[in-house]
């Protein structure tokens, strides 16, 4: 396989944009990524597009509304991991020589309200498990009972990620919160309050990938390359509360592929759809032992400036979660960090970063390791 570089990234800021269409946001993200990569549209040989709620032939409609068409366009879906899977398929297309220069776009417009999703099965919803806030509240209760994780420790994740979001111009929320602010926000699924949950969000993100051997035709300077790409699928019905096997399996495979361990990571962008999700994933990623999540949160290790900053972008909790865009926005953040372009939220000397998306309660988990 050829080495593949992420030669350009771009985002439309995440937030609530009632006056913008999904095409407006996609255009802005794509234009920024193309400009960042110094690539013209005519150089793009294929596009993978991740989304969840935007309807039939979204990629074709979106790119043609932006004035682009003709190339193969493949829409992929994997719930909250849709963007990551688009990025992964794009990566393999370049790594295996199918194309030299390829684009991954993720976009979602959500703030016009919840959209009915055909095909979701009612049983888990009736049981409360597929109502995501409820399911994470249940996971917390179990972690509390078994490991002594406290709701205040979880609230601190929200405080940290919102602090990071204050440093990110692309973040939906820029809020300095206290643990009390988090705990005093309205209850969503007891004991999770609003600031324990990520918001519905509009946004778009784009990455341009290029065979490393061709990258010098477009960009100069140190390259961000992809050291690992893994996708693990599972039945969402059988996901265990205590062992998030897809995160563990996907990360273990990614560490093996990249030839590193979790101790070698300089930063992680992970799927903090709820504060409990971040705690859950940290143990399963090997950042700490399972059961030690509370101590890790208290230690300051996961803050910018700490041992292993997590979600320096603000994460889903603060930056927002426009479903299809999230996985590619994680790539944008890691690329900026590895290029030392992350401004006030820069993780000093970052050379290796990981992204992690977790779709439909474990039905799909996509993990990428990028390095400079």
**What's the min distance (Å) between Cβ of 42 and its own copies?**
15
Hunting for tokens 């193969």 — which residue is that?
72
Can you tell me the distance from the alpha carbon of 18 to that of 130, in angstroms, rounded to the nearest whole number?
28
Q: Does 131 bind its own copies (CB under 8 A)?
A: no
- Interacting span for its own copies (CB under 8 A) from 33-41, 88-96, 157-165, 200-208: 88-96
Q: Does 60 bind its own copies (CB under 8 A)?
A: yes
Q: Does 117 bind its own copies (CB under 8 A)?
A: yes
Can you tell me the distance from the alpha carbon of 122 to that of 107, in angstroms, rounded to the nearest whole number?
27
Residue of the chain from 232, 254, 268, 316 that contacts its own copies (CB under 8 A): 232
Q: Does 2 bind its own copies (CB under 8 A)?
A: no
Minimum CB distance to its own copies smaller for 89 or for 252: 89
Q: Does 65 bind its own copies (CB under 8 A)?
A: yes
Query: Does residue 339 contact residue 372 with C-beta atoms inside 8 Å?
Result: yes
Q: Does 74 bind its own copies (CB under 8 A)?
A: yes
Can you tell me the distance from the alpha carbon of 254 to that of 224, in angstroms, rounded to the nearest whole number?
17
> What is the dihedral angle through the alpha carbons of 84, 357, 117, 124, rounded to the nearest 10 degrees?
150
User: Which tokens in the block code for residue 138?
Assistant: 């249940």
Q: In terms of DSSP bridges, do strands 47-50 and 101-108 run parallel, antiparallel, or are they unpaired?
A: parallel
321 in catalytic set: yes
Minimum CB distance to its own copies smaller for 55 or for 291: 55
**What's the min distance (Å) between Cβ of 235 and its own copies?**
3
Q: Does 238 bind its own copies (CB under 8 A)?
A: yes
**What's the min distance (Å) between Cβ of 95 and its own copies?**
9
HEC sequence for 247-309: HHHHHHHHHHHHCCCHHHCCEEECCCCEHHHHHHHHHHHCCCCCCCHHHHHHHCCCCCCCCCC
User: Which tokens in the block code for residue 29?
Assistant: 């993200």
**What's the min distance (Å) between Cβ of 51 and its own copies?**
9
Residue tagged active-site, from 12, 162, 196, 321: 321
Q: Does 326 bind its own copies (CB under 8 A)?
A: no
């Amino acid at each position: 396989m050829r080495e593949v570089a992420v030669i350009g990234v771009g985002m439309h800021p995440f937030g609530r944009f009632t006056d913008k269409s999904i095409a407006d946001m996609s255009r802005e993200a794509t234009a920024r990524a193309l400009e960042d990569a110094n690539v013209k549209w005519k150089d793009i040989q294929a596009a993978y597009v991740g989304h969840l709620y935007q309807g039939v032939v979204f990629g074709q409609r979106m790119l043609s509304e932006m004035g682009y068409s003709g190339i193969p366009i493949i829409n992929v879906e994997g719930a909250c991991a849709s963007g990551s899977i688009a990025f992964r398929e794009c990566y393999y297309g370049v790594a295996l020589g199918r194309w030299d220069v390829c684009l991954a776009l993720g976009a979602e417009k959500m703030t016009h309200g919840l959209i009915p999703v055909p095909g979701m099965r009612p049983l888990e919803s009736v049981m409360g498990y597929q109502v995501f806030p409820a399911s994470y509240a249940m996971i917390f209760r179990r972690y509390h009972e078994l490991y002594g994780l406290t709701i205040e420790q979880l609230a601190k994740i929200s405080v940290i990620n919102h602090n990071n979001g204050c440093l990110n111009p692309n973040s939906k929320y820029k809020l300095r919160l206290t643990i009390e602010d988090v705990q005093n926000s309205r209850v969503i699924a007891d004991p999770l309050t609003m600031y324990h949950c990520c918001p519905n969000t509009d946004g778009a993100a784009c990455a341009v990938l290029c065979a490393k051997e061709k990258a010098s035709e477009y960009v100069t300077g140190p390259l961000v390359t992809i050291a690992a790409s893994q996708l693990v699928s599972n039945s969402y019905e059988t996901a265990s509360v205590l062992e998030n096997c897809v995160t563990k399996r996907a990360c273990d495979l990614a560490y093996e592929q990249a030839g590193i361990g979790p101790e070698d990571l300089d930063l992680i962008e992970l799927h903090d759809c709820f504060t409990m999700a971040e705690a859950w994933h940290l143990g399963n990623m090997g950042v700490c032992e399972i059961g030690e999540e509370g101590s890790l949160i208290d230690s300051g290790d996961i803050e910018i400036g700490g041992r292993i900053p997590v979600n320096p972008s603000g994460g889903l909790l603060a930056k927002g979660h426009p479903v299809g865009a999230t996985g590619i926005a994680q790539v944008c953040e890691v690329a900026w960090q590895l290029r030392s372009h992350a401004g006030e939220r820069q993780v000093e000397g970052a050379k290796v970063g990981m992204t992690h998306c977790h779709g439909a309660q474990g039905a799909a988990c996509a993990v990428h390791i990028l390095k400079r």
